[in-house]
Structure 1
Amino acid sequence: MRKIKYFLILFFLFYPAIPYTYCEIQRFDFIPEQSRITFFMQSTLHDFDGIAKEFDGFAEGDIEHIAETGKGSLKIKVKSMTTNHQKRDEYMMGDMEEGKYFFITFFLKSAKPSYVSKDKSKARLEITGDLEIHGTKKEVGIPVDVMTVDGRIHIIGQKEISLKDFKVKPTSFLFLRVKDKMVIKFDMVGMKNDVLRNVEANKKDN
């Protein structure tokens, strides 16, 4: 009888951890050269877009238990953002106070799947996290499509934000007034952490 009681005590103590024992948690580090972050804005004269050239981050989790295991972050260097127009970029850096707020960051807080393929290689998620722009942090939700193949992850999504929410007031120049809304689109490619280490090791050997 004592053995049975002892077994039951151990079972209930460790039961919460049992489902995660079989999780296949994988970490993918984003590859800037293969990823793309773009932003789209409107003005009184015309629409324009730009890209972020310098960023890093990662995505981690097990797709079957993504709500419990999902982690991730993204850090964008503000100074690397460009619209390919020197004067407009100068105003943008001033509005973003690049000398004071060096980065735009996103830290994942939760991920909820609405679809997962049978082979677990594709999923549709609603991710929620803290987005910080211009020193102001807001919780945002973003729908994303995720695909994994050959040790890589592919994450695609977009989010419309209000610049006012982040205390950014676009400067008007000449006859152009930039509107408040900005659409951020991302197409992130990440390599599985152990694969990435092997690739970097091979580069050093060569």
Structure 2
Amino acid sequence: MSKLLKIVGAFALFAWTAGGIAAWVATKDHVQVTLAEGKAEPGALDPVALLSDQVSTLQSDLRGLASALSENMGLMAQGMEGRSDEQAQALEALRAEVALVRAESSAAALPAAAMAAQDLGPITERLARVEQLMERVLTTSADAAERSRLAEEFAEAEAGRLAKEAQAKIEAAEAQAALSLAREQAVEEATAQAEAAAQALLGSTDTAAPAARKKGGFLSFKLPSDDFTFDKRQRFTVLGNLSRVGFDAKSTLHDFSGVSQSISGQFDVNLAQPGSGIEGELKVESKSLDTALAGRDEAMHDLMEADVYPTIDFVPTSFQADTVNAAEQKVTGKVSGKMTIHGIEKPVVMTVTGTIDESRRLVLEGETTLVMSDFEVKPPSKLGMISVEDDIRLWIALRARASDVPATTGN
């Protein structure tokens, strides 16, 4: 019985082993084991750093808003002080001038002859008195000849005097009419000016075209975050905590990526006219590249001799635009420059896209392909079985803040 049990057990073990081998043979061509590490995404950002920058922008806007409110409310207060007095004075002057115009216009409308007739009224009365005087002389003189002589002399003298007085009155009336006409014109001009001044104080004018004004009123503000012009040469400073630079590499075992946020630098460019030139420099700390595997990072840093060459440098030399959309504040094209890795400098062309985000930051994304052996960095290999490809995809995802380009000073 025991022998039988041993034989059955051995047979079962053999059958189990044979079945396992058969299953492996049947499925080995249908099962693939892949070891993959997550690739770094250029757009992935530290939410805390992003929030911090947005809060900083908001604080700057609030300070600008407070300053603008203080300044503009002060101007409004100054404008209101004495405004009612100025309006009252201007309107009173306007009323007086209009009344004067009406009075002078009515007087000037009378012909010179009519005014002379008005002024000759006293002369007519005087002539009547002369007639009475002459009649008395004639009736009281005994000598007719003497009466006649006296009457003639008196009449001649009185007539001459009256004629001169009348002539003076007429000339004065004519001069007064001319003066009134001139004054009427002067008053009309003064009235027009007074009306314009009064209406300007009231905020509108009907007698003249409105003067050119700046857009906006005392409640219009320009916040610091709005202080951005797309079509203008500006200096863009990289925000290291909101920027990422990395690479994607392939190996026989699995693909992997390296990422760094230790980025610094700045560049000057007019985004609307990138062909006008670009200047600046970007730096990445060599030892900051992280592939999420300590041993691999150490080997990579050794191959790059990071202690000797602590930075990876890029100096842009030209920006050739493919598309420029000023309305959408977007530009695409190719940035050419000099890349220095492991102390070796090589020309590089990177395809880029630049846009302005809601916080008025430049978001610059781009990529290119590098051959690491060109920089005398030998791709690692282990036992001839696990090796890294020589070509890598280099990408950037930068955020930068704009400022005015400092004026150059001559010696």
Secondary structure of 1:100's partner?
A: coil
- Tell me how far apart the structure 2 counterparts of residues 24 and 163 of structure 1 sit (CA, whole Å): 37
Q: CA deviation digits over 1:106-165, x for unaligned, max 9?
A: 001001111011426101121100011111111111110011244310101111110111
TM-superposed deviation, 1:191 = 1.1
SS in 2 for 1:89: helix
- Which consecutive segments of 4 or more residues in structure 1 shift more than 4 A? none
Q: What SS does the aligned partner of 2:273 have? A: helix
Confirm or deny: 8 A CA contact 2:268 2:280 kept in the other structure.
yes
CA contact (8 A) 2:318 2:335 kept: yes
Larger-Rg structure: 2
1:72 to 255, 280, 297: 280
Q: What SS does the aligned partner of 1:147 have?
A: strand
- For 2:398, the aligned partner's letter is M
Identify the residue that residue 185 of structure 1 maps to in structure 2: 395
- Report the structure, 1 or 2, having the larger strand content: 1
Preserved CA contact (<8 Å) 1:29 1:58:
yes
TM-score under structure 1 normalisation?
A: 0.78
The Cα of 1:64 is off from its aligned counterpart by 3.1
Name the SS for the 2:338 alignment partner.
strand
Select between 50-59 and 93-102 the one with higher mean Cα deviation.
50-59
Aligned length: 172
Give the corresponding residue for 1:169: 378
CA-atom RMSD in angstroms: 1.6
Listed one character per residue, the Cα deviations across residues 74-105 of structure 1 (whole Å, up to 9, x for unaligned) are 10000111101011111101110111111110
Q: Which of the numbers 31, 36, 50 marks the counterpart of 2:244?
A: 36
Question: What letter corresponds to residue 269 of structure 2 in structure 1?
Answer: G
| Correspondence list, 1:34-183, <5 A | 34-119=242-327, 121-149=329-357, 150-173=359-382, 175-183=385-393
Counterparts of 1:8-27 in structure 2, within 5 Å, are: 24-27=232-235
Gaps of 5+ in 2: 1-230, 405-411
Task: Specify the alignment match of 2:158 in structure 1.
Answer: none
SS of the equivalent of 1:99 reads coil
Ranked by relative contact order (alpha carbons within 8 Å, sequence separation 6 or more), the top structure is 1
Q: Secondary structure of 1:124's partner?
A: strand
TM-score (norm: length of structure 2): 0.40
8 Å Cα contact 1:30-1:189 kept in structure 2: yes
Is the helix fraction higher in 1 or 2? Answer: 2
- Distance (Å, rounded) in 1 between the aligned partners of 2:282 and 2:326: 28
What SS class does the counterpart of residue 64 from structure 1 fall into? coil
**SS of the residue aligned with 1:43?**
coil
Shift of 1:42: 0.8
Aligned residue identity for 1:151:
R
Deviation string 1:41-100 (CA, Å, 9 cap, x unpaired) is 111111111111311112321123322232232100001111010111111011101111
Aligned identity (percent) is 30
Q: CA deviation at 1:24?
A: 1.9
Q: State the distance in 1 between where 2:326 and 2:270 align.
A: 14
Say if 1:63 and 1:120, in contact at 8 Å, map to a contact too.
no
